[in-house]
Amino acid sequence: MSTSAIIMMILSMVIIWGGIAVSAAHAIRHGK
């Protein structure tokens, strides 16, 4: 894979899957 493809893959994974992790963690911490 090219460097730019690897960067895009990692970037999108971090933003999107990171978004799930952060919002789910927020839900667990703050209840309701």
Interface residues with another protein (CB under 8 A)?
A: 1-2, 4-6, 8-9, 11-13, 15-17, 19-20, 23-24, 26-27, 30-32
Q: What are the CA-CA distances from residue 2 to residues 5, 6, 14, 15, 18 (Å)?
A: 5, 6, 18, 20, 23
Smallest distance, another protein to C-beta of residue 21, A: 9
How many Å apart are CA 22 and CA 16, to the nearest integer?
A: 10
Q: Least CB distance from residue 17 to another protein, whole Å?
A: 5
Shortest reach from residue 10's CB to another protein, in Å: 9
Report the length, in residues, of the chain. Answer: 32
